[in-house]
Structure 1
Amino acid sequence: MSGAASAYRRLWRHRWVPSLLLVGVCARVPLQACTFAVLLLTVERTGSYAVAGVVTAAGGVAYAAGVPVHGRLVDRFGQTWSLTIATGINAAAFTGLLITAYREPATGALAAWSAAVGLSLPPVAAAARALWSQVIADEGIRRTALAVDAMVLDVALIAGPLLVSAVSAVAGPGWAVGGCAVILLGGTLWFSSLPPSRSWTPARRAGGLAGPLRSMGIVVLLIVTVLAGALLGILRVAFVEFAGQTTEPAAGGLALAAFGVGSLIGGLVYGARPWRSDASVRMRIILAGYAGGVVLLAAAPNVPALVTLSVPAGFFLAPLVICTFELTGRCAPEGTLTEAFAWGITATFAGSALGNLVAAALVDAGTSTTVMFVAAAGFSALAAVTAALGTKLLTAEPPSVVTDQSSGKGA
């Protein structure tokens, strides 16, 4: 434990680390909150959970498709201008979504604007991870930074739904969606104005269009990430549906926040000790535990019990993310690390969109939330099997990619 504390202290001493972590929270909280806020807004304006699932899925699919493109634009033109332009377009898309929701909330129009929001979301997470190799030279401390980076996602997962629930209860979900847009705009502009972001130099490389997808280990990780993302996509809808049966749909945010608390605890525990087993072995054990924790949600009789059970259910999320970061660094071909992280984001949101669609179909078919929780656990079990079958690929040397910068900065 003392060794882990020492690593965190050494990390915090680096000049730009506090700023990058703080701005990471400001830029990522809206990303976690946005999906939930749009879900509540759509339910309020249309009265349909099925429509809400389609609308949120449209945004997730669009973001999944757009983030690798944004990543390549950042690689070509740098972070500051690419992120600034994307943020301006994203603000306009949020405006269109809100106007449509309150004037003529047709399913097609809402889905189109949700897709526009997702397509234009700035890739702050991928850009931030690309900076760690520039800000921190020591590989061990950089691994600690990636662990903290994963826990920043937990802070977003906790704070996002709580803020959305509070704002929705007081002023309505429309204000929650607008707040996400404003915070995302400010956080991204702040990030892109930091000196490390302004001075970031992308790597120029020749490796074909496939990039990190040339590594079969990366492909295995992306499949696992899609399946794990589907679990979260189902849970978001299931929490709202469960809460809506007894109290208010917005109360589902409490369960989602508790899930994030469990993940944060899991990340702290996971990062506080050294591990002798290989990360590929740890991944499948974590996924099996994840499935077991989520299936227990089916036993919840009411919202307080659901919130309580959500803490242990979320315990395995941050360890899974940290483990995925570690394996991505191992499996990504040289010079493609940033793009590999971007594809990981794509896989996460694609999986979340898949989960939204599955959940919407289950709700439309009249199935109980118990079935939805079991289905979510099934995705994690399938991910564990995938990781086990791909163990050799996760431990193999990645294919080489030609670059013109041996340092790999921006990769």
Structure 2
Amino acid sequence: MTNPYRDIFKAPGSFAFSASGLIARLPVSMITLGIVTMLSQTHGTYWLAGAVSAAFALSNALIAPQISRLIDRYGQRRVLPPVTVITVLALTALMLSARYGASSWMLFLFAISAGFMPSISAMVRARWTAIYRDTPKLHTAFALESVVDEIVYMVGPIVSIGLSVALFPEAGPLAATLFLTVGTLLFIAQRSTEPPVHAQDKSKGTSVIRLRPLQWIVLTLVAIGAIFGTAEVTAIAFAGEQGQKAAASIVLASYAAGSLIIGLVFGTLKFRRPLATQFLYAIALAMLTTLPLLFVTSIPMLAVILFLAGAAVSPTIIISMGLIERLVPASKLTEGITWAMTGIGIGMALGSSLSGLVIDAYGARSGFCVSIGAGVAALMIAVMVYRNARSPAPVPMETAVSAHC
């Protein structure tokens, strides 16, 4: 029996761009927590640290899709270097400002400027799509990248926080900046696998987010992201109430492990049902796995339930990418994938913020109610995805905009 993951790497240059992409996207999971850890040490306040970190996250959520639109139009090799330079300079200025006690407005300015950081994850998936479009191997490739994302979010925060605490406050963001620089240079050096620049359709500069099916997918992923963000905050709060706050890391690791393991298995499977149907089933599973959280009474029990809940994470993301590949014109694929990843990030921020407010008011276990509410919302929106995205054929942009807007 052949190994499907080994098979996808038979394409020349595939291992090189996937590996360099892993390095280049480590900062995604390092910068926000790195900023919080750095500023909480240099300025002694968490409100400022959290606000500056949130400014970066919001800025990146708004800017990254625009960068991806430019990449679809002009190519990765032409757009990635300048936006990476802007990001590196902004992060360097942010670290120096923190180091030498600059005014708060400067911290916000440089954090917002660092939002030019490109979505490397979307560009890696765009390369896989260019190689394996309309083949079963693309499903496996998307599964692999979902697993890589889990690795990034497991390793990145540990490295970022650990360096800032063990060495000096700026060490975490500095490492993230170096990973971004080196990884991006290695990534753009892989010219043979860079996706071709497609001729733009009649919509020209129109954003792909105007496609109604994509809007429903992104909204669903915002709700799914809220489940992720709520789980992180509530797990920490619950472990703290149990007097075992350090155990929260084990609980969250079990959540990521469930997603990673199921993602690897899911990538080897082949399904006959349409992607829209698979998407609906995956979201329904994600919603159902939030219900047992209401009955959690101990940390081991929470770890087991979150491990099972993680089973819905990777399939949801893998299927979402497959749907977007089918629904979005090839000339705008990178932007479409970036909107999906942005939706998850926005949802995580909303979920963590809302659950924090609920936990402060009603206790740790009440935070799980936010997870359930987000799960129900995700399922309701997924029904709209099912209704709007059952056609497997790509939608011409000019036709889609007139039909859906």
TM-score tier, shorter chain, comes to: 0.7 to 0.9
After the TM superposition, which of the residue ranges 164-173 and 223-232 deviates more from structure 2? 164-173
Aligned-partner residue type, residue 140 of structure 1: P
The correspondence for 2:319, drawn from 313, 317, 323, is 323
Whether the 8 Å contact between 2:72 and 2:333 is mirrored in structure 1 is no
Distance 1:162 1:304 in 2: 22
For 2:377, the equivalent position in structure 1 comes to 382
The correspondence for 1:174, drawn from 170, 187, 190, is 170
Superposition deviation, residue 168 in structure 1: 4.5
Distance 2:15 2:288 in 1: 36
Classify 1:289/1:300 alpha carbon distance in 2 versus 1 (closer, same or farther; 3 Å): same
Distance 1:102 1:256 in 2: 31
1:14 and 2:26 equivalent?
Answer: no
For 1:202, the equivalent position in structure 2 comes to 197
For 1:213, the equivalent position in structure 2 comes to 209
Length-normalised TM-score, structure 2: 0.85
Whether the 8 Å contact between 1:298 and 1:369 is mirrored in structure 2 is no
Question: Cα deviations across residues 29-85 of structure 1 (Å, max 9, x unaligned)?
Answer: 221232233333344456665555433332221111111221132234322242122
For 1:32, the equivalent position in structure 2 comes to 29
Aligned-partner residue type, residue 386 of structure 2: T
For 1:97, the equivalent position in structure 2 comes to 94
Distance 2:157 2:56 in 1: 17
For 1:393, the equivalent position in structure 2 comes to 388
**Size of the alignment, in residue pairs?**
397
Question: Cα deviations across residues 195-220 of structure 1 (Å, max 9, x unaligned)?
Answer: 235x5431121332434334321111
Whether the 8 Å contact between 2:254 and 2:303 is mirrored in structure 1 is yes
Whether the 8 Å contact between 2:280 and 2:386 is mirrored in structure 1 is no
The correspondence for 2:65, drawn from 63, 68, 75, is 68
After the TM superposition, which of the residue ranges 290-299 and 216-225 deviates more from structure 2? 290-299
Distance 1:61 1:399 in 2: 29
Whether the 8 Å contact between 1:217 and 1:331 is mirrored in structure 2 is yes
Superposition deviation, residue 294 in structure 1: 4.3
Distance 1:241 1:171 in 2: 27
Superposition deviation, residue 302 in structure 1: 6.6
Distance 1:314 1:35 in 2: 22
The correspondence for 2:52, drawn from 18, 36, 55, is 55
Unaligned runs of 5+ in 2: 400-405
How much is the aligned-residue C-alpha RMSD, in angstroms?
A: 3.2
1:273-292 alignment runs, 5 A limit: 273-292=269-288
Classify the secondary structure of the residue corresponding to 1:8: helix
Aligned-partner residue type, residue 115 of structure 1: I
Distance 1:133 1:389 in 2: 25
Unaligned runs of 5+ in 1: 404-411
Whether the 8 Å contact between 2:351 and 2:370 is mirrored in structure 1 is no
Superposition deviation, residue 162 in structure 1: 3.0
Superposition deviation, residue 177 in structure 1: 2.1
Percent of aligned positions that are identical: 24
Question: Cα deviations across residues 152-209 of structure 1 (Å, max 9, x unaligned)?
Answer: 1112122223323543453365322221121122111110111235x54311213324
Classify 1:354/1:6 alpha carbon distance in 2 versus 1 (closer, same or farther; 3 Å): same
Distance 1:186 1:213 in 2: 31
Length-normalised TM-score, structure 1: 0.83
Aligned-partner residue type, residue 308 of structure 2: P
1:118-267 alignment runs, 5 A limit: 119-136=115-132, 139-171=135-167, 174-196=170-192, 200-208=195-203, 209-241=205-237, 252-267=248-263
Whether the 8 Å contact between 1:215 and 1:398 is mirrored in structure 2 is no
Whether the 8 Å contact between 2:84 and 2:181 is mirrored in structure 1 is yes
1:41 and 2:38 equivalent?
Answer: yes
Superposition deviation, residue 8 in structure 1: 2.4
Whether the 8 Å contact between 1:228 and 1:379 is mirrored in structure 2 is yes
Whether the 8 Å contact between 1:260 and 1:314 is mirrored in structure 2 is yes
Whether the 8 Å contact between 1:222 and 1:344 is mirrored in structure 2 is yes
Classify 1:279/1:136 alpha carbon distance in 2 versus 1 (closer, same or farther; 3 Å): closer
Distance 1:385 1:256 in 2: 27
Distance 1:108 1:308 in 2: 44
Whether the 8 Å contact between 2:30 and 2:156 is mirrored in structure 1 is yes
Aligned-partner residue type, residue 26 of structure 1: I
